[in-house]
A = this chain, B = another copy of it.
């Protein structure tokens, strides 16, 4: 027995999620989404105050659905610094493809829309905290390369894992998710970890 989508808000969100990924976030207009959801353009604004608000809600909608995967469990169960690093990259490499379209849509608004910039900033902050916990664990185990401080390690890790870097490696350079996870994990180990 399949679960039918209950209300219009959810219909809009799942339609937006699909269109953002299928056609590319920034080129999907509010009209496109409303038509695909089977309602009028104006009706979307009865549920979401603005494009930014819709995109933000879409990202949360996707987040909720992606806390059930194996990768999320692996990340929670990882113990040592290097294990956490691998699990983090694995989780991230499987998470980004889901949010990519909506994230790009949000990024495109950042320059001209203060609210979009704020939403992005908050998500970045949370992502950086994940990186920071990883690096701090590595550091507490005495496995952080003496070449780097924790802050520098966080900066490098969050840059290497950024959505833009993910986009370049997977979409432009055709790395598969598995290749991305293995190679980015390897590169980050080489940068951050002191050799055994």
Instruction: Report which A residues bind B (CB closer than 8 A).
Output: 24, 26-27, 104, 108, 111-112, 145, 147, 152, 155-156, 158-160, 162, 164-165, 168-169, 173, 175, 183, 186-187, 190-191
Contact = CB atoms under 8 A, between A and B. Distances in A.
Is the contact region of chain A dominated by helix, strand, or loop, or is it mixed?
A: helix
Nearest to A121: B172
A158 B168 contact: yes
Contacts of A190: 145, 147, 190-191
Nearest to A187: B191
| Copies, count | 2
A145 to B, nearest CB: 8
Contacts of A168: 155, 158-159, 162
A193 to B, nearest CB: 10
A156 B187 contact: yes
Nearest to A24: B111
A108 B113 CA distance: 14
27 contacts: A24-B111, A26-B111, A27-B112, A104-B111, A108-B108, A108-B111, A145-B190, A147-B186, A147-B190, A152-B183, A155-B168, A155-B169, A155-B173, A155-B175, A156-B183, A159-B160, A159-B165, A159-B169, A160-B160, A162-B164, A162-B165, A162-B168, A164-B164, A164-B165, A190-B190, A190-B191, A191-B191
